[in-house]
Amino acid sequence: MSRPAPRFALPHLSDEAVAAFADNVLRDGARYRAQQHIGECAECRSAVADQRQARSLLRSAPLPALPGDLLERLRTVPVSAPLPSGPPVVSALSADGQPLFAAFGTGRDTGPAPSSAASPAVSAPASTVPGAPPADRSWAHRHHLPTLGLGVVAAATVMVGALATTAPTAGGGAPAPASPGPVQQRTASPGESDLQAVFQPVVDLTGRR
Amino acid sequence: MTDAIVARETGAAWAAPTWDDVVRQHADRVYRLAYRLSGNRADAEDLTQETFVRVFRSLSDYTPGTFEGWLHRITTNLFLDMVRRRARIRFDALPEDAAERLAASGPGPEQRYAENHLDPEIQDALDALPADFRAAVVLCDLEELSYEEIAATLGIKVGTVRSRIHRGRVLLREALAHRAPGVRPVEAGSTSAEDGA
């Protein structure tokens, strides 16, 4: 600041306070004091205005738009992403504490069905040979990482299901089917891809490299 | 995911999202953040893809209700990791004139406009910010996170968030001064004619 505030007047706002006041996040006494000071101090008033101006300039710019082919690559991450070492089961918890499992499979059946071609809805891995990298320039491919080949399945699906079990199974084998918890089935509508939510107690990976 | 919370509170049946749902709901936002941070399409695509790969592989770390915050954290930290990695390479492994050769490696304004119809000046001003300031300002002003959320995302204190935001905005405004109405020239030690008004 170019000159000190007059004695007995409120001190100049710190940089932190200027930003916080500009963003309307100061409360109670701090806010009151800042307001009082700004009423009397043009410098701090300008500093606050500058902060708000920078914010609105930034927000005035057009938003970057997601490239279309990237969306497709993201949708096929489950079949093209490099697998971490360790058990293939990926788990999470639903809002009410139910364990969830993400797995690959056929969706409607209890196990993979042999088929002559991968689902057309899965666009990235054009190759159906297990372990072969996807034909497109996926991120994983460009970085020379091994990927999960889809193998030969009827439909590529990712299932995120709620189970009644309380803990994920240790090890990599498929667990015994548990009694179904809050089970729902949702089949894909004609416009959707074959990626669908199916609740299944069996965790299964097909075509693992 | 707030759907789950709504479902639990209303008693409605909650359907777990498919991977497709997750991507469709969040890909735009992740990409926008990745682009604002990295300043070019190639890096933004890589950051976006890596974010979703990590999401898929780390579902066990996910706590319901904080999904967007989790995404922000992954994307931002991937960006900061990328910056640090490149800084190390630049200084450690390359001949002396390499820094100059690397300097002009980003897309120019024409390409940036053509790629995304973006405002190249604003993106340039962002790119000129040091990465830590850029992350704080982008998370605050574009992603609209609270200071506390930004502190959690970046692993720093709220006070540090405030000062980085403050400084980042000052730098931005200086870079874009020609676009801001009523810009005062900065003169050290001057007294404003408005004092006492």
pLDDT exceeds 90 at position B74: yes
What angle in degrees, to the nearest 10, is found between the helix axes of B147-154 and B67-92? 50
Say if residue A173's pLDDT is above 50: no
Tokens representing residue B170 in the block: 């000052």
Nearest residue in B to A138, CA atom: B49
Residue B105's CB: how many other CB atoms inside 10 A? 8
Q: Quick check: A152 pLDDT over 70?
A: no
pLDDT, position B18: 82
Show the tokens assigned to B132. 């830590």
DSSP codes, A177-202: PPPB-S--B-PPPTTS-S---B--S-
**pLDDT tens, residue by residue, B153-166:** 999 999 999 999 99
> pTM for the complete prediction?
0.61
B47 C-beta neighbours (distance < 10 Å), count = 24
Of B44, B63, B189, the CB nearest to A2: B189
The pLDDT of residue B102 is 52
Q: Higher pLDDT residue, A194 or B115?
A: B115
Residue A4: the pLDDT is 63
More confident of the two residues A66 and A208: A66
B54 touches chain A (CB under 8 A): no
Does B177 touch chain A if contact means CB atoms closer than 8 Å?
no
CA distance A89 to chain B (A): 10
CB-CB under 8 Å, B63 with A93:
yes
Contact yes or no for A61 and B119 at CB 8 A: yes
CB A163 within 8 A of CB A98: yes
Phi-psi region of A128 (alpha: psi -120 to 50; beta: other; left: phi over 0): alpha
ipTM of the complex: 0.75
Q: Which of A62, A157, A6, A129 is CA-nearest to residue B35?
A: A62
Residue B193 has pLDDT above 50, yes or no: no
Q: Residue A120: what pLDDT?
A: 31
Q: Give A180's contacts in chain B (Cβ within 8 Å).
A: none
User: pLDDT digits over B109-140, tens only?
Assistant: 666 555 656 688 899 999 999 999 999 999 99
B38: left (phi over 0), alpha (psi -120 to 50) or beta: alpha
The HSE-up count of residue A137 (CA atoms within 13 Å, CB side) is: 5
Cβ contacts (< 8 Å) between A199 and chain B: which residues? 16
Task: Report residue A21 as tokens.
Answer: 């006041």
Q: Which of A161, A160, A148 is nearest to A206 (CA)?
A: A148
Q: Is the pLDDT assigned to residue B191 strictly greater than 50?
A: no
- B105 contacts chain A (CB < 8 A): no
The pLDDT tens digits of the residues spanning A7-16 come to 566 789 999 9
For testing contact with chain B, the best of A18, A66, A187 (most B CBs within 10 A): A66
Cα separation, A5 vs A43, in Å, equals 10
Nearest CA in chain A to B35: A64
Residue of A nearest to B118 (CA): A62
Q: Show Cβ contacts of residue A129 under 8 Å, excluding neighbours closer than 6 positions.
A: A149
